[in-house]
Amino acid sequence: MAIARRIRTTLEMIKFEHSVFALPFALVGALLAARFDGMPGLWPTGQQLGWIVVAMVGARSAAMTMNRIADLEYDRRNPRTQNRPLVTGELSVGFAWLFALVSAALLVLAAWQLNPLALRLSPLVLAVLFFYSYTKRFTAWSHLVLGFCLGMSPAAAWIAIAGGLDGRMLILSAAVTLWVAGFDVLYACQDLEFDIQAGLYSIPKRFGIARALGIARTMHAAMVLLLGWLAWSFRLPWPAWAGVAAVAALLAYEHALVRPHDLSKINAAFFTVNGYISVLFFLSWSAALWLSVS
């Protein structure tokens, strides 16, 4: 029971439910690979999709746990994060390390089950994921590194299905990178004072909150353009374009929630709206691919 409680606490610490952010984009990458990589009319197998989900969950869990370990001293000093389990002692650092290593092993296991290229690339993926945890110490553009950590997922899913990579997946990877980086910039605005005191780097610290919000808007506008380019490159039918329009509308709403002098709705913008974005994107593009096969 003690182990189960610690696992539950760890999952709460890493916001396990937020795996929904990147997973739908990875699944779209898998669907696109099955449809366009020399196998028209086919869908990924249940086994392939299952291992992709395992890989995604393992990767995110390892990365988020490593992030909490790496930032432990900063979490102790930041009033916003002083109730996190590693800070309060509810969870030990040793158990967090064990959870991170087991999660990383899940990613490698899933990659092994998928294909040889996925297995060979899995250590590189883990290196990128763990590297992110240290980027705020030396660059204001760490938001893009975080974005890339999630942006790898559609390309990785294509590789998982096809055993190779279509260059068009880099468009979706870039779109996800900018999406995540943009909402991470919004989220970082609430830590501006602490970043200044702690000597950490961020876009809000470097450019100020007003300009940071403008940078986030630019990133999200570029994301919408990239999604349109991707839909055009695969000649997808109307549901894909409806999905792009829905993403654009939700991003506009997200930015309407946040003002330079009013950050009180950051959590709504960060968690709720972005969850809707990823799910609606998956549903609309799945429908488009179903129509393209029918």
* 213 vs 72: CA distance, rounded Å: 27
SS3 state at 22 = coil
Q: Is the pTM value of this prediction over 0.85? A: yes
Q: Nearest CA to 189 among 281, 262, 132, 101?
A: 262
Confidence band (pLDDT; 50, 70, 90) for 159?
Answer: very high
Long-range contacts of 266-273 (CB under 8 A, 24+ apart): 266/186, 266/187, 266/189, 266/190, 269/183, 269/186, 270/183, 270/186, 270/187, 271/18
pLDDT digits (tens, 9 = 90+) for 2-46: 777 877 777 677 776 666 778 999 999 999 999 987 555 578 999
The per-residue pLDDT for 1 is: 46
Of 41-50, 95-104, 126-135, 159-168, which gets the smallest average pLDDT? Answer: 41-50
Domains and CATH numbers, the chain: 2-293 (1.10.357.140)
CA neighbours within 13 Å on the CB side: how many for 289? Answer: 22
* Distance from the first to the final alpha carbon of the chain: 50
Confidence band (pLDDT; 50, 70, 90) for 272?
Answer: confident
> Which residues is 259 bridged to in the sheet?
262
The per-residue pLDDT for 267 is: 74
